[in-house]
Amino acid sequence: MRAALALGAPAMLAGCAIGPPDAPVPAAATSLPEAYGEAAAAPRAYRSVKWWQSYEDPALDGLVERALRRNLDIAEAVARIEEVEARYALERAGRFPQVNAGAEANYANQPATGLGAALGELGQGEPGEDGSADPPADGTDGGTPPPESDPRRFSFSTYTAQLEASWEADIWGRLRNRARAADANYRASRAELQAVRIRIASEVMRNYFDLVETEQLRELSERQAAILTERVGLAERAFLRGIGSSFELITLRESRREAEANVPLLEANLARSKARLGVLLGSYPREVDAYLAEAGRLAVTLPMEAVPAGLPARLLAGRPDIVAARAQLDAARFGVAAAEAARLPQLTLSASGGLEGNEPSGAFEPQNWFVNLLGALTAPIFDAGRIGAQIDISEAQMRQRALAYGRTVLDAVAEVEAALARHAAAAQRVRLIEADLASARDAADLQLRRFERGTGNYSDWLDARLNVLNSRRLMVEAERAVAEARLGVHRALGGAWKREWLARADRDG
């Protein structure tokens, strides 16, 4: 019967544990739309894949993957995970018994009064050779005797080897809830690492887009300056012959100076983008230069297909910031439960056992064993409100985490809606500029054919080429805008959304 009670006691006590309270999450954050768009897509859980490969740019892929391996922000986030993991191990260890081994040698020499006299009466210790106060047997004249043989003093030695064990019976779940809070913080830190990885990949892509756009704009400015130089020469000759306009000549010269002035500014922007890429890659700009030189001509192949309609809103559940916010809320809830359990009695069980003797050789004899068992139940009576204040702190932290979680969800929904709108607008602008660029090229071809037939002049063809370059400049800027808008959708959804990418992630496990 006693054995059954001993075995069943932990289970019965576990039923007394205090659970975490419900989180006061704002209602708006718990009623997400079913989908983004008109038709509902097949719901799938978010799985992290290499979504940046949708741009089909090997140079970009290499930069992103290098950054994910070498970026210092990511390394710092990994170190934070290691710290939080160690904290979880520390909290989890508190739920298990603590066992220590010890050995002790003790020598005492004290007056033969009080405790010493009592021990002497029990026959312990050494009050001299025979316990009497006779003169020393060493032949001295009865002066001050040496301490070892002084009958007025008492000495003894003890030698102990023992094992000690202690365990707190977690009746109310205080230690368990602290461990669960630490585990939730660990999950939050892993989600934060994923958020850092997405942020770094996005920044690399954004700076790469800057680099490609700036390189193309510099090339267009150089070509524009060359055509304008030729056009200014024609205008100067026409003006000298009296058939040209001074206003046209001045306007062309200003346009040429503007095109030439853009070149050093764009070169400075190139240097800035490369320097920023170097920081993101954990290296120096010269390494970025070497990599880009090896990659050759830079260009971004735009994935112009529309974002699928009916993206499931549950994709947001995989956003790292939402996962982290939810985990932090869980940690706060467990913290409240642990704080409430601190006001209840705590039961600590301890045991020790070992061997003890007065001589080293006799300490390990079987008859010298000892065992001590102790059960201690302690309950707080008066602490000047310390425990209550800790509960108030924990509850306030839980409310803060709940509000932060709700705000994170609402921000995520707003970011997705805004990113989808920006992507649609940017894609529409690209299509309109494509039509304008096609018209400009047709006009340039027409002017060239007229010039070759002798029905047009060279200046008109140069002007048509300038119009093509202007339209091409708008196109470069629009392509950059749509590339970054699509990146914004990826980042708002926490990565990929295409079904085949998600299916590939499922296959890869």
Residue 460 falls inside a structural domain: yes
Helix axes 320-341, 386-453, angle to 10 degrees: 180
pLDDT in the model for residue 124: 52
- Lowest-confidence pick of 147-161, 254-268, 315-329, 332-346: 147-161
Residue 147 falls inside a structural domain: no
- Confidence grade of residue 289 (pLDDT, cut at 50, 70, 90): confident
Which residue range is the domain that position 353 belongs to?
25-95+170-503
Encode pLDDT of 150-161 as tens digits. Answer: 667 777 788 888
- Confidence grade of residue 137 (pLDDT, cut at 50, 70, 90): very low
488: domain CATH number?
1.20.1600.10
Residue 54 falls inside a structural domain: yes
Contact present, 145 and 133 (Cβ < 8 Å): no
Distance in angstroms (rounded) separating the CA atoms of residues 55 and 359: 82
- Lowest-confidence pick of 305-314, 332-341, 432-441, 488-497: 305-314
Give the bridge partners for 109, in sequence order: 155
Selection from 278, 236, 226, 308 nearest residue 496 by Cα: 308
Q: What is the mean pLDDT of the chain?
A: 81
- Confidence grade of residue 406 (pLDDT, cut at 50, 70, 90): very high
Encode pLDDT of 198-254 as tens digits. Answer: 999 999 999 999 998 999 999 999 999 999 998 888 888 887 888 878 888 888 899
Among 117-131, 207-221, 367-381, the range of highest mean pLDDT = 207-221
Residue 213 falls inside a structural domain: yes
pLDDT at 333 over 90: yes
pLDDT in the model for residue 20: 81
158 vs 278, residue with greater confidence: 278
379 vs 15, residue with greater confidence: 379
pLDDT at 488 over 80: yes
pLDDT in the model for residue 272: 92
Residue 108 falls inside a structural domain: no
pLDDT at 75 over 90: yes
453 vs 396, residue with greater confidence: 396
pTM (2 d.p.):
0.77
pLDDT at 475 over 70: yes
- Confidence grade of residue 149 (pLDDT, cut at 50, 70, 90): low
Average pLDDT over residues 183-204: 93
pLDDT at 497 over 70: no
Encode pLDDT of 81-110 as tens digits. Answer: 999 999 999 999 988 999 999 888 888 887
Residue 135 falls inside a structural domain: no
Selection from 41, 13, 291 nearest residue 173 by Cα: 13
Domain count for the chain: 1
Distance in angstroms (rounded) separating the CA atoms of residues 165 and 16: 24
pLDDT in the model for residue 59: 87
Residue 128 falls inside a structural domain: no
Average pLDDT over residues 172-185: 92
Length, in residues, of the chain: 509
Residue 396, CA distances (Å) to 18, 25, 28, 334, 409 in order: 18, 13, 20, 13, 20
- Confidence grade of residue 122 (pLDDT, cut at 50, 70, 90): low
For tokens 């300056």, the residue is 225
Residue 335 falls inside a structural domain: yes
- Lowest-confidence pick of 10-19, 106-115, 187-196: 10-19
